[in-house]
Amino acid sequence: MPKYVIEREIPGAGNLTTEELKAISQKSCGVLNKLGPEIQWVESYVTDDKIYCVYVAPNKEMVMEHAKQGGFPANNISEVKRIIDPTTAE
């Protein structure tokens, strides 16, 4: 199944409290439960003004539907074509 990286522009994201991040996570998980097991949230990275999320989903449209239902921005959705790491150099 394809993997996607979603760029979410959220000014001040790096200053969100633990409770605020928990609430966002709970909202996201609630939407995921409604959409079914085909879409999965892998992890997210919080930076100063953006959150980068990694999802597994059958298509980009399902990722967009998750964002719509959750009220989350999805400023850029990119399908991961390949994964490399230090062992790729060997």
Please state, in angstroms and rounded to a whole number, the distance separating the CA atoms of residues 87 and 7. Answer: 26
| DSSP string for 52-75 | EEEEE-S-HHHHHHHHHHHT---S
Mean predicted lDDT score pLDDT of the chain = 97
Closest CA relative to residue 53, chosen from 22, 74, 39: 74
Cα gap 31→68, rounded to integer Å: 10
Q: What is the pLDDT of residues 50-74, one digit of tens each?
A: 999 999 999 999 999 999 999 999 9
For each of the domains in the chain, give its residue range(s) and CATH number, in order of start. 3-82 (3.30.70.3090)
The pairing of beta strand 50-56 with beta strand 76-79: unpaired
Alpha-carbon distance values, 35 to 20, 41, 42, 66 (Å) = 23, 12, 15, 8
Q: What is the pLDDT of residues 11-28, one digit of tens each?
A: 999 999 999 999 999 999
